[in-house]
Structure 1
Amino acid sequence: MAPASVFQEEMDAAGQQQTPAVPGVRLQGLPVEILVEIMSNLDFESFDNMLLVSRRLNSVVEAHWSFLLCGIVEREFTPVQDFFDTLWGVNLPEMMTCSQLLTVCSTLNGFQPLLNFCRVIKRWEMEFPSLRFSILPLHSRSLSPNELCRLRQGLYIWWRYARSFHGPAVDVDNTSEARRTFLRRFSTTQLHEVNDMRQTIRSAVQQKICPSVTLVRGFRGKLATKEEAARIGWGELSENSDIVDTVMKLHPAILLHLLVYRHRYATRASMIRFIRLRHPGIEDGDVESFRETISDVLFERGLSLFWPFPRPGFPDTYGGVLDHADAESEELRAAYSTDGGTGVHDYPQWRREMDASREVRSAKLEPAL
């Protein structure tokens, strides 16, 4: 027998004498204590997927979610205080820990609203980079952890502002001074960051949801007649601007839905019906006031949307939510991060007169025929 054959027979015999392999341990067969320990170290997406694996894992999550989510919220949804303030729509005591806040959450609105809120924030994180770099796509990239934190903080501010001043609530104090009081608590750095986020999203609304007649003709080229473009587009110039700023009054979760699922609405009329259904009073009063209020608060501090930072943000590929291009500008971010709560609270007469004479832009969704 050839040496190679002898060697192969010896190897086969040795393999047959080995101890049989131990069957693999199934995740669902583990004790609850070990499952809880494993799931508490997952990222949010993996944690969310656990709900779909089996009934047993789903029941474990629902029984222990206030413990499981503590580490996930602290790792992936910072600033934690702003996260819960936004979720509940109130200013919570700052001394409470994330674990304590989740325990309170379990007795107030429960697991499902919290889970849905986390899903919306994560979807914004996923969609925002493509919106932020839409005008300069060659520079497109993922956001760094610091940039994601700024984005979330901006979303939390915008979310609470929209709920307080753009929502369907009745008898809410929606005066200019009430809006300024809300934003005064935030630092100049935070206001510049949230304005960058707002500009990015407004540009996306103007491009993807409510394009002007001229933009429609630019997209479709010679295929679109002027009449067809007018049927599809959302007005021109100031009219289009008013419509876009009316749509910007929508709740961030609804606006996200429109940006992601725009293809579901075949006509302008179908989208208008959806918007009116989700926000019945959206055409009452004036257009969204977020940018105007930020400008007012910065004016009180002797600043503006274009200073002290060298770049306002969007559409530049740095500044605002994104890191600045140089270290000196990043130092300004720290220098202007502690002036929250400052500003003029007793307006001089000339300022009140200017507020009274400010042009009112009425909210509208349908362009004139």
Structure 2
Amino acid sequence: MPASQLQTKTSAMAHNTSRSMYSPNAGVSRLLPSKSRRTQKLGLLDYPVLYPDTEFPYIDSPASIHVPVLGLAACPVEILLDISSHLDIDSIFNFSLACKILNGVFNKNKIMILLEVLSKEFSPFDELLQVYTAVAEDIKGRTYYQPRMVVFKRFPGDTGYTIGPQPGHIHHGANYSAASRPGISTVRKAAGVASSGVAVLAEDDLRPILRMCRLVRQWEQLFPQMRWFHHPEDCRALNEQELPRLRRAFYRWWLYGTYFHGEWTRPQAGHPMPFVLDVRTSQMRRHSTAELMELLDLHETMKDVILHYICPRLDPTYQLSYDPLPLMEQVSREHSLNAMWNDQSKWARIVKTYAKLGPEELMHYFENIYSYTRKRLITEIRLQRPTFNLDQESLQGVIRCVLEERQLVDDLPIVPEDCEGGILDFRGERDLQRIKYGRDGRADGTLPPGVPPVRQLSRYSPRGDDGEYLEEEMHSVFDVHGYTAMLQA
């Protein structure tokens, strides 16, 4: 072969080799069948092998398989689960939508991933699950309250992931009686103990639990606005110590309302009294005095929501009324907590009646109250709660009974004030006293040692008032002030 032809052929071969090396689809038709040119499985990897700057996924040659470049999707499942454990709930869902691989990892480990993040973001999460698993049988014919153990089944055949108090490990409070010592299970053993034993949850329960968590987040955002409603110049975000206090008080307020403020049959006909074997006071005895102050602080904030958003819809002239308004803004928080727990004035009855509304209902009316007329508001609540105006809220009275049993009614230095205390920090020496009064809860909800129970003879319970009869007073006030035409309009 002439030298010129040999040089030309060599140059052409070099050119073709160079093209094949840098071609995006080099070796695809040679190595893969025509139906498999876009994807290929490598052992246990069930996803396409992608190369940067290529149009299609491909495999070079069996002898020189390159390591696939897939970013986070190429990480082991253990690393992906560890990454998820450091994300918040919104970021986890966004992370799972990044690609099919991450979405598959999330779906296969959904319960484990969500339980870990929910336990951190919504602590104490076990108390929120007590609200979710509450049933009417928990309080029917009971005199003592005990929480149930919650078990999550993560997959078929799983023994379960336990959340909350376990048999022999009751931890709510510092004081124990013989009934709460190790060896006594939370499974119902006596007719006087309120506990359904064990509640088994599965993946289908995650959606309603997430809805509850979303509601908790809404109240976390609204609470500072209403807590400093009378002092907006001091309003601020809650710190890392205050947020868990808010959630803890919120869950307990929610649970108490579920049991004793809804349409379920009341376990006791009369108003709560101290030293009585009552499941209502038993539930509050489990909590320390410092935690009861947090609960009262939240309860007072909820009354402010009612006073400033629901009451004006019931009667636009309430500020012109000559009836004293002890719960309004001219009264300090401390005075309202100490002296107004048994107030039965007109507006006190109305506020205490609407204080039976749950967190979801209150949030709905807070966001949509201006679309409600007075008549529509009363009618809608009566349709949803036929026995709504038969009684008033009893939480504040129950807490006072527990304080009387502990002899702390008249001299308690950690009562919440207008801008500090309760859920908020005192920012002083009283924060140390909060620790002192944080250890007197009774884990089994019984009376203090050596205190005999008292039989409740009275069946008196203050009747509720939903504001139905305010219309007559509205007419008289409008006539006095010359607003008859406005009323007719």
Show the counterpart of 1:178: 279
Show the counterpart of 1:313: 416
Q: Answer whether contact 1:165 1:174 (CA < 8 A) is retained.
A: no
Residue 166 of structure 1 and its aligned partner are, at CA, apart by 0.8
Show the counterpart of 1:195: 296
State the percentage of identical aligned residues.
29
Show the counterpart of 2:362: 255
Partner deviation per Cα, 1:83-113 (whole Å, 9 max, x = no partner): 32222227134999x94339x7643862111
Alpha carbons of structure 1 residues 61 and 115: separation in structure 2 relative to 1, 3 Å:
farther
Partner deviation per Cα, 1:288-329 (whole Å, 9 max, x = no partner): 11111111110111112x74225x325x11100000131x21
How do 1:217-296 and structure 2 match up within 5 A?
238-263=345-370, 265-283=371-389, 285-296=390-401
Alpha carbons of structure 1 residues 259 and 57: separation in structure 2 relative to 1, 3 Å:
farther
* Residue type at the aligned position of 1:291: Q
Q: Answer whether contact 2:111 2:203 (CA < 8 A) is retained.
A: no
Partner deviation per Cα, 1:232-264 (whole Å, 9 max, x = no partner): xxxxx933322221111112222222223323x
How do 1:315-354 and structure 2 match up within 5 A?
316-326=418-428, 328-341=429-442, 343=447, 346-347=452-453, 352=456
Partner deviation per Cα, 1:115-147 (whole Å, 9 max, x = no partner): 111111111111111111111000010001111
Residue 63 of structure 1 and its aligned partner are, at CA, apart by 4.1
How do 1:113-124 and structure 2 match up within 5 A?
113-124=208-219
Q: Answer whether contact 1:246 1:363 (CA < 8 A) is retained.
A: yes
Residue 77 of structure 1 and its aligned partner are, at CA, apart by 1.5
Between the aligned partners of 2:91 and 2:81, the Cα distance in structure 1 is 13
SS at match of 1:319: coil
2:142 paired with 1:47? no
Alpha carbons of structure 1 residues 343 and 325: separation in structure 2 relative to 1, 3 Å:
farther
Q: Answer whether contact 1:62 1:111 (CA < 8 A) is retained.
A: no
Q: Answer whether contact 2:151 2:201 (CA < 8 A) is retained.
A: no
Between the aligned partners of 1:169 and 1:101, the Cα distance in structure 2 is 26
Alpha carbons of structure 1 residues 298 and 144: separation in structure 2 relative to 1, 3 Å:
same
Between the aligned partners of 1:289 and 1:324, the Cα distance in structure 2 is 27
Q: Answer whether contact 1:66 1:106 (CA < 8 A) is retained.
A: no
User: TM-score normalized by structure 1?
Assistant: 0.74
Report which of the two structures shows the higher radius of gyration computed on alpha carbons.
2
Show the counterpart of 1:137: 232
Residue 272 of structure 1 and its aligned partner are, at CA, apart by 2.2
Between the aligned partners of 1:28 and 1:282, the Cα distance in structure 2 is 54
Between the aligned partners of 2:303 and 2:466, the Cα distance in structure 1 is 16
User: TM-score normalized by structure 2?
Assistant: 0.57
Residue 65 (structure 1) aligned to one of 90, 110, 122: 110
SS at match of 1:100: strand
2:404 paired with 1:299? yes
Alpha carbons of structure 1 residues 83 and 325: separation in structure 2 relative to 1, 3 Å:
same
Alpha carbons of structure 1 residues 217 and 365: separation in structure 2 relative to 1, 3 Å:
closer
Q: Answer whether contact 1:43 1:72 (CA < 8 A) is retained.
A: yes
Residue 248 (structure 2) aligned to one of 153, 177, 200: 153
SS at match of 1:159: helix
Q: Is the helix fraction higher in 1 or 2?
A: 1
